[in-house]
């Protein structure tokens, strides 16, 4: 629970191509506290937290139990940014803020083409973005006050979104009686 942690846990989620990793990396740099960015897809691949590779979708089939077992001790300590295209797997008690990044479907299509995604995967992700699948999943899985939807289409959006997240972190620290550590004082 948040009361026992000195740092919040944040999910940055959204359809592939909406800027999750970029936002997470910038948030780590600008946060008033030390945060650990975990790209969940990379963790699954690197730590073998999967049941194999799905050739059709060009992705790993995640072993939810292995993934949660790996993340639980880290989530209990706090200070995580979980970066993944889905969020409903994570227990509500772990999470203090869910950021859902949204992007115009035409721009998203272009981003996924640049990643050389197969056409079927581009179409599926584009449809998911149009229908708000990730946003709906977040709102069904977490209390509405912790879910925030942000537009991620430009560098201005990125800067503004990260500034909002930094302000949210400062408020979380104040509300939870945690002294803020100046970024320059970190070792």
The pLDDT tens digits for 149-171 are 999 999 999 999 999 999 999 99
- Pick out the residues of the known binding site: 17, 19-22, 115
Question: Would the CA dihedral through 121, 124, 126, 128 be positive or negative?
Answer: negative
d(CA 35, CA 109): 31
pLDDT at 29 over 70: yes
- Pick out the residues of the known binding site for ATP: 17, 19-22, 115
pTM for this one?
0.91
CATH of domain 8-169: 3.40.50.300
| Closest residue by Cα to residue 14 from 106, 144, 150 | 150
The pLDDT tens digits for 110-137 are 999 999 999 999 999 999 999 999 999 9
- Per domain, the residue ranges of the chain are 8-169
């Amino acid at each position: 629970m948040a009361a026992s942690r000195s740092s919040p846990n944040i999910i940055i989620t959204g359809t592939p191509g909406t800027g999750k990793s970029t936002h997470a990396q910038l948030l780590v740099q600008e946060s008033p506290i030390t945060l650990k960015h975990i790209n969940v897809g990379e963790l699954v691949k690197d730590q073998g937290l999967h049941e194999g590779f799905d050739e059709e979708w060009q992705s790993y089939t995640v072993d939810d139990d292995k993934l949660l077992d790996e993340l639980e001790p880290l989530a209990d300590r706090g200070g995580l940014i979980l970066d993944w295209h889905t969020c409903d797997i994570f227990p509500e008690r772990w999470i203090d803020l869910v950021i859902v990044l949204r992007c115009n479907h035409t721009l998203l299509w272009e981003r996924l083409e640049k990643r050389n995604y197969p056409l079927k995967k581009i179409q599926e992700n584009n449809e998911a973005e149009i229908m708000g699948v990730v946003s709906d999943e977040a709102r069904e899985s977490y209390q509405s006050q912790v879910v925030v939807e942000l537009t991620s289409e430009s560098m201005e959006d990125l800067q503004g979104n990260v500034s909002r997240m930094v302000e949210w972190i400062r408020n979380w620290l104040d509300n939870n009686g945690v002294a803020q550590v100046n970024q320059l004082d970190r070792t």
